[in-house]
Amino acid sequence: DRAYKPLNWMSPPCTLKEGTDEEAGVWTVINKAGEKLIITMEEVLHDSTHELGVDPGLIKDGVEAHLQELLADRIETLGEGYTLIRREYMTAIGPVDILCRDADGQTVAVEIKRRGEIDGVEQLTRYLELLNRDPHLAPVRGIFAAQEIKPQARVLATDRGIGCQVLDYDALRGIEDDKLRLF
Confidence band (pLDDT; 50, 70, 90) for 133?
A: very high
21 and 77 share one domain: no
Domain extent, residue 152, equals: 64-173
20 and 69 share one domain: no
The domain that contains 128 carries what CATH number? 3.40.1350.10
45 and 68 share one domain: no
Hey, how many other C-beta atoms are within 10 angstroms of the C-beta on 146?
Answer: 22
69 and 121 share one domain: yes
Task: Establish if 183 belongs to a structural domain.
Answer: no
The bridge status of strand 140-149 relative to strand 107-116 is: parallel
36 and 123 share one domain: no
Confidence band (pLDDT; 50, 70, 90) for 114?
A: very high
Task: Establish if 181 belongs to a structural domain.
Answer: no
81 and 46 share one domain: no
Task: Establish if 74 belongs to a structural domain.
Answer: yes
User: Given this model, what pLDDT does residue 105 score?
Assistant: 95
Task: In whole angstroms, give the CA distance from residue 138 to residue 130.
Answer: 10
Whether the pLDDT of residue 179 is over 70: the answer is: no
44 and 70 share one domain: no
> Are the CB atoms for 52 and 59 separated by under 8 Å?
no
73 and 47 share one domain: no
Question: pLDDT: is 140 or 40 the higher one?
Answer: 140
Task: In whole angstroms, give the CA distance from residue 18 to residue 52.
Answer: 18
User: Given this model, what pLDDT does residue 25 score?
Assistant: 80
What value does the mean pLDDT of the chain take?
Answer: 88
Task: In whole angstroms, give the CA distance from residue 150 to residue 167.
Answer: 13
Quote the number of domains for the chain: 2
Lowest mean pLDDT among 23-32, 77-86, 90-99: 23-32
94 and 154 share one domain: yes
Task: Establish if 135 belongs to a structural domain.
Answer: yes
In sequence order, what are the residues at sequence separation of 6 or more whose Cβ sits closer than 8 angstroms to the Cβ of residue 101?
82, 83, 85, 107, 108
Model pTM?
Answer: 0.67
103 and 125 share one domain: yes
What average pLDDT does this structure show over 29-35?
88
What average pLDDT does this structure show over 41-70?
82
95 and 10 share one domain: no
User: Contacts by 169-177 with C-beta closer than 8 Å and gap 24+?
Assistant: 169/62, 169/66, 169/67, 169/70, 172/67, 172/70, 172/71, 172/74, 172/77, 173/70
Say what percent of the chain tops pLDDT 70.
89
Residue 69, classified by CB atoms within 10 Å of its CB into exposed (0-12), middle (13-18) or buried (19+), is middle
